[in-house]
Amino acid sequence: MSRNHPQWLEDAVFYEIYPQSFQDTNSDGIGDFAGMIRRLPYIKSTGCNAIWVNPCYESPFYDAGYDISDYKKAAPRYGTNDELKAFFEEAHRLGLHVILDLVPGHTSIEHPWFRESMKAERNEYTDRYIWTNSIWEDCAGIHNITGSIRGVSDRDGSCGANFYTVQPALNYGFVGGDRDWMQSPDAPGPAATKEAMKDIMRFWLQMGCDGFRVDMAGSLVKGDTDGKATIALWQEFRAFLDEEFPEAVMISEWGEPDKSLAGGFHMDFLLHFGPSHYNDLFRVEKPYFSREGQGDISEFVKTYERNYSHTAGEGLICIPSGNHDMSRISERLDEEEVKIAFAFLLTMPGAPFIYYGDEIGMRHLHGLKSVEGGFGRTCARSPMQWDASVNAGFSCAAPEKLYIPIDPDKNRPTAEKAIAEPDSIYHVVQELIALRRAHGALCSSGRIEFLYAERKAYPLVYRRFDENEELLVVLNPSGTEVSCEIKAGDPAEVLYQRGKAAVLTGGRLTAPAASASVLRMR
C-alpha cells in the first residue's frame, strides 16, 4: 500500500490545545506554555500521540490569535520562544509530535508588513497585501475577498480583508483578474509573499515543531473558482518542504480532500461548513449519533466515499470531535451518546482530532459574553476543567480575571473525576485508541468500505481492512435494536463492544440498541 506521508501519521491521534484556555501557571487567568508542558503527561495518558496548538504567536488578539502581528515571536502572555521550544522538546521526549497553526491568508493590521504597505511611497511591502488603486473602489465581495479596510492610511486605495476588518488579506494573486490591481499569482508581489511564508515555516520547523495545520488553506489565491491555482501554490510549498524538511507534516483546513491532497497536503480535515455533511453526525437538530434514532448519515457517507476516492486508497481525511470554531460535541449529545460517537471517530481512516475537554465531556456554555472575537464560539472555548480545586484547577487567578469563565455547575466534569470513573468518556477514548493502535486496519491508511449507510436508517456498518486483517465496525447509536442484511461472512471474535455486541449470522446483522461493536472477521 502506498503511503505518501511520514510514518508517524499512520497511528496518529491528535489532541487540540487552545493555549489560552488550557492551563495557567502564573495566575493571570490565561493559559501558558508552562501549563502546556505541565499537562503533557495527561495528554499522553489519553493515548493521543500528537498535538495541534492553536495560534500562539504575538497578536493584538482581536481574533483570538488568528490576527498575527509577528509570525516569529511567541505571544508574551503565553511565554517566550525558548519556552515554546521547550514544549516541543518535552513533547518529543514523551513520544508526542506537535504541529502549529499556520495562518498564511492574513495578518493583523498591527503587523509591520501592513504598516509598511500603508505608506504612500512604494516599498518592499507595497504589494504584500491586496490594495485597490483608489479609496473609492471597494474590494469587499469581489471574488472571495470578504471585507475591506479603508481610510486608514496615506496610501490611496482599499485593502482586502479576510473575515474580520482587522485581518488584511495577504497577496497571493488572482485568477482571471480584470483590474490592474489584481496581480497574477506569479507576479513579484505574490512571489514575495510565498517566500515570506516559506521563511516562517522554516523558522518553526528548525525550532522543533513537526509541521502545521494550515488555516483557510483553500482561500489564498483569489478568484480561483476551480482551485487549480491554489493547488499549484501548495505544490510549490510542498516542493520546498520536500527539499528542506521532508518529514514536515501538513494538514489543511480546506474541507475538499480532492484539492488539498493534490496540493501536497498529507491530510485534510472535515469542517462544520462546506459540502461534507459533517454536521449531520453531531451538530444538527437531529444528529445521527443521538439515541432518538432520527438522524441521517447517508449524505455524509456519499460525500465521504466521493472524497475518499481521491485519496489513492490512503483515506487521509481527518474527522474531529470538534474544534475552537464549533459547538461542543456535548451540546446535542449526552455522555453515553458521546461514547458511541468516539467509537466512530476512532475507527475511521485518517488521523482523528480530539478537541481539548471533549474526552471528559466538557459542556457547551451558552450565554457567554464574546471574548477576543469568539462571539458564539466563545461558548466552546471555556477553560479546561482539571480537578475540584479553585477554578477547576485551571488557574489560581480570581474568577473574574479568567480568560473565559469556568463552567459554573458544581457537578461539572473534570479530568480528575474522569480518570477515577472506570466507564468515563476518558477511559472509552483510551480503550478505543489502544484498539486502533493494535490493529493496522484501523489506522490512518487502513482501507474502508461502507456496507450499510441507508437514508434515515440504522445501523452504520463498515469494513476496515489491510493486507493482514479485516474488521467490521457496527454502530447503532439509536435506542432501538435494528437489523440489516450485509454481504459478509461470520465473524471470528468481538474485539470491542459498547453495550451488547452486534451479532452477524448468515449475512443477517443485528445491532443492539445504543451499541458499538468491532468484530474481527475470519
How many CB atoms are closer than 10 A to CB 410? 6
168 pLDDT higher than 50: yes
Q: Which residues contact 242 (CB under 8 A, 6 or more apart)?
A: none
Percent of residues, the chain, with pLDDT higher than 70: 99
> What is the per-residue pLDDT across 398-411, written as a single tens digit (0 to 9) for each?
999 999 999 999 99
Predicted confidence at residue 2, as pLDDT, reads: 38
Q: What is the pLDDT of residue 311?
A: 76
Whether 315 and 444 have beta carbons less than 8 Å apart is answered as yes
Q: How confident is the model at residue 478 (pLDDT cuts 50, 70, 90)?
A: very high
Instruction: Provide the 3-class DSSP secondary structure of residue 444.
Output: coil
- pLDDT on residue 117: 98
Work out the pLDDT band at 8, boundaries 50, 70, 90.
very high
Under the banding of pLDDT at 50, 70 and 90, the label for residue 1 is very low
For 115, residues 6+ apart whose C-beta sits below 8 A from its C-beta are: none
Query: CA nearest 444: which of 466, 468, 460, 426?
Result: 466
Q: How confident is the model at residue 10 (pLDDT cuts 50, 70, 90)?
A: very high
Band (pLDDT 50/70/90 cuts) for residue 313 is low
Beta-carbon contacts of 437 under 8 Å, excluding residues fewer than 6 positions away, are 11, 47, 443
Is residue 28 exposed (0-12), middle (13-18) or buried (19+ Cβ within 10 Å)?
middle
Cα–Cα distance, 420 to 251 (Å, whole number): 34
The rounded distance, in Å, linking the Cα atoms of 443 and 342 is 15
Query: Distance between CA atoms of 52 and 215, rounded to whole angstroms?
Result: 12
Confidence of residue 364 (pLDDT cuts 50, 70, 90): very high
Give tens-digit pLDDT for 190-224. Answer: 999 999 999 999 999 999 999 999 999 999 999 99
Distance between CA 207 and CA 85 in Å, rounded? 6
The answer to whether residues 23 and 357 touch, using CB atoms and an 8 Å cutoff, is no
Do 7-104+190-368+407-436 and 106-169 come out as alike in CATH topology?
no
> What local confidence, expressed as pLDDT, does residue 312 receive?
72
Please say whether the beta carbons of 135 and 158 come within 8 A.
yes
Strands (E), 324-446: 353-355
CATH number for the segment(s) 106-169? 3.90.400.10
The answer on pLDDT for 356 being more than 90 is yes
pTM (global) more than 0.95: yes
Determine how many CB atoms are found less than 10 A away from the CB of residue 75.
Answer: 24
Helical packing angle, 188-207 and 81-93, nearest 10°: 60
What percent of the chain lies above the pLDDT cut of 90?
91
CB 327 within 8 A of CB 279: no
Q: What is the mean pLDDT of residues 297-315?
A: 85
CA dihedral 62, 68, 69, 72 (to 10 degrees): 150
C-alpha Rg value of the chain to the nearest Å: 23
Per-residue pLDDT band for 270 (boundaries 50, 70, 90) equals confident
DSSP 168: B
Q: Which three cell numbers stand for residue 117?
A: 504597505
- Helices in 346-424 by DSSP H: which ranges? 415-420
* Mean pLDDT value across the chain: 95
| DSSP 8-state secondary structure symbol assigned to residue 137 | S
Instruction: Please report where in the chains the cell 517566500 appears, as a residue.
Output: 195
Query: What value, to the nearest 5°, has the Cα angle with vertex 368 and ends 345 and 362?
Result: 30
Domain ranges of the chain: 7-104+190-368+407-436, 106-169, 447-521
Predicted confidence (pLDDT) per residue in 430-439, tens digit: 999 999 999 9
Q: Is the pLDDT of residue 257 over 90?
A: no
- Domain 447-521's class? mainly beta
pLDDT digits (tens, 9 = 90+) for 110-166: 999 999 999 999 999 999 999 999 999 999 999 989 999 999 999 999 999 998 999
- Which of 160, 165, 128, 156 lies closest to 143 in space, CA to CA? 160
In 220-266 the beta strands, taken as DSSP E runs, fall at 249-252
| Calpha distance 222→173 (Å, rounded) | 6
Our CA dihedral for 173, 177, 183, 187, rounded to 10 degrees, sits at 80
What letter represents residue 127's amino acid? D
Place domain 7-104+190-368+407-436 in its CATH homologous superfamily: Glycosidases (3.20.20.80)
Contact of 442 with 464, CB cutoff 8 Å? yes
Query: d(Cα 103, Cα 314) in Å, to the nearest integer?
Result: 26
